[in-house]
């Protein structure tokens, strides 16, 4: 990011220079041995902030808890409020509003993808000599083979292209969705168990002469709430069926993460491996975002003290359970610094020792110093999202939530004293409202048209119907 770009995106020149200094010094220290680290990047799907052991959950997550104890729980780690936008932000280091993926998710009938002129994280890491693998969920474009992971920088791909899949049938809306590389395959088993096994295999067979980037994207605990019977038996004391299956899914994921760590240790790779874990958004608290599955009863996710959940711009939808672990390089202890998922691209690229000159201007900042527990984060702003229906932005402790669709509503919160967003201070702080509203308007002026809305126009007015069920076209919960 240049100084001009940083100023335009609301990052002060002083913060930018501090971030660069921290980043370069920190990454030099991290790479003191001259060997780029392996990167294991793990993403959960719709995991509640409060549904991990290191946040006090009644659902045991011993492997995640061990990583948290030995590393850094990231207590102000932010994502986008939904699946596709978060994954796009990770892959590009840029806010999805820049390229039209800020609204909803790519639906089953969607013909668009993360734009082909974006230079993705695995492409940058391949430039640095990394072997790159994706195990799990893609959800960044499926309509054409050129949109698929193998054509976007991954040497290996195993998993699903679309969003919500049946965890046993491996199908999306009744259509098979299970691939190895570019080839559809049929395979029995619970998808998240298979993902854990596959990730362990990738590590076991990895050529250690090259660094490894493994992106492990679980579909747990996304709907439908399904799990193997032996895992359901672990939670037989939970009377609510949804919560029981949800807990079992998290347990499957945690066991898979344990297999990954064990394999790293067996291969002698653990000491030079950065592990990052987070959810793609908050847990689901509203049925509109629960996916195509018909969920009877209450939704099981718990987002701790944070308001609402997936699909919303409140903290419960965007502040997620997260951690980073690298033995000897990341100090144990919670990191309470603002970090956005877009920051992971430049941070990882710097650790890999590769330039980001092939990318478009990044919104992300190198936050290695904050991850390592050595420096404050250079980030002083969070852009939650901006689209035609609403937006939210945070500067320092102040956060403005703007519901732009009629009836319009503006809410202002001070997160330092009100992390649960219960006290709207807009009427008492009109100047702060104007300041943050102006920032949103500037971002809106730079915004690309949302591709989901463009697709809706195309499907409504320019093509014949392709399905009798509109939920298959525009499913907000995938």
CA end-to-end span of the chain: 32
Residue 436: strand, helix, or coil: helix
317 to each of 125, 314, 371, 384, how far by Cα in Å?
30, 6, 22, 10
Rounded CA-CA distance 279/392 in Å is 20
CA 153 → CA 1, 20, 194, 198, distances in Å? 22, 27, 22, 19
Q: Are 371 and 364 in contact (CB under 8 A)?
A: no
User: CA-to-CA distance for 108 and 43, rounded, in angstroms?
Assistant: 21
- Would you state the structure tokens that stand for residue 365, as one six-digit string? 């900042």
Partners of 339 in beta bridges: 77
How far is 455 from 107, CA to CA, in rounded Å? 9
Geometric angle at alpha carbon 412, from 408 and 415, rounded to 5°: 145
Q: Is 170 a catalytic residue?
A: no
Question: Which is nearest to 340 in space by CA: 372, 311, 360, 362?
Answer: 362
List, in sequence order, the alpha helices (H) in 281-429. 315-318, 344-352, 368-371
Active-site option among 83, 206, 278, 340 = 83
Task: Assess whether 139 carries a catalytic annotation.
Answer: yes
Percent composition of the chain: helix, strand, coil (DSSP 3-state, to 5): 35, 15, 50
Catalytic residue chosen out of the listed positions 139, 167, 170, 340: 139
How far apart CA 89 and CA 315 sit, in angstroms, is: 18
| Residues designated catalytic | 83, 139
């Amino acid at each position: 990011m240049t100084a001009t770009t940083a100023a335009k995106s609301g990052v002060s020149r002083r913060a930018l220079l501090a971030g660069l200094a921290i980043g370069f010094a920190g990454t030099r220290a991290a790479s003191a041995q001259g060997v780029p680290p392996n990167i294991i990047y793990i993403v959960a799907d719709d995991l509640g902030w409060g549904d991990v052991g290191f946040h006090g959950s009644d659902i045991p997550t011993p492997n995640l808890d061990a990583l948290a104890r030995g590393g850094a729980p990231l207590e102000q780690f932010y994502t986008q409020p939904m699946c596709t936008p978060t994954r796009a932000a990770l892959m590009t280091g840029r806010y999805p509003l820049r390229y039209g993926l800020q609204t909803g998710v790519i639906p089953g009938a969607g013909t668009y993808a993360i734009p082909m002129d974006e230079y993705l994280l695995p492409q940058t890491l391949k430039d640095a000599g990394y072997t790159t693998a994706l195990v799990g969920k893609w959800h960044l474009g499926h309509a054409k083979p050129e949109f698929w992971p193998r054509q976007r920088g991954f040497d290996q791909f195993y998993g699903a292209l679309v969003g919500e899949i049946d965890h046993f049938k491996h199908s999306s809306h009744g259509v098979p969705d299970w691939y190895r590389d570019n080839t559809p395959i049929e395979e029995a088993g619970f998808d998240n168990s298979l993902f854990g096994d596959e990730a362990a295999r990738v590590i076991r067979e990895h050529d250690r002469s090259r660094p490894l980037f493994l992106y492990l994207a679980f579909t747990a605990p996304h709907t439908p709430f399904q799990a193997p019977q032996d895992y359901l038996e672990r939670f037989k004391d939970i009377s609510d069926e949804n919560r029981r299956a949800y807990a079992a899914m998290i347990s499957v994921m945690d066991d898979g993460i344990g297999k990954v760590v064990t394999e790293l240790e067996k291969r002698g790779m653990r000491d030079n491996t950065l592990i990052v874990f987070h959810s793609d958004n908050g847990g689901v608290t509203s049925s509109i975002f629960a996916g195509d599955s018909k969920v009877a009863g209450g939704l099981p996710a718990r987002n701790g003290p944070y308001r609402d959940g997936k699909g919303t711009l409140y903290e419960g939808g965007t502040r997620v359970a997260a951690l980073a672990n690298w033995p000897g390089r990341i100090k144990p202890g919670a990191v309470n610094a603002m970090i956005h998922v877009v920051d992971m691209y430049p941070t990882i690229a710097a650790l890999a020792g590769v330039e980001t000159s092939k990318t478009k201007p990044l919104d992300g900042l190198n936050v290695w110093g904050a991850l390592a527990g050595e420096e404050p984060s250079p980030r002083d702003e969070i852009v939650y999202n901006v689209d035609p229906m609403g937006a939210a932005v945070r500067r320092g402790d102040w956060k403005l939530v703007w519901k732009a669709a009629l009836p319009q509503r503006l809410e202002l919160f001070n997160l330092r004293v009100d992390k649960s967003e219960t006290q709207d201070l807009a009427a008492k702080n009109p100047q702060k409202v104007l300041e943050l509203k102006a920032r949103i308007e500037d971002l809106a002026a730079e915004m690309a048209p949302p591709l989901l809305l463009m697709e809706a126009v195309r499907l409504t007015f320019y093509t014949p119907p392709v399905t009798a069920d509109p939920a298959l076209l525009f499913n907000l919960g995938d």
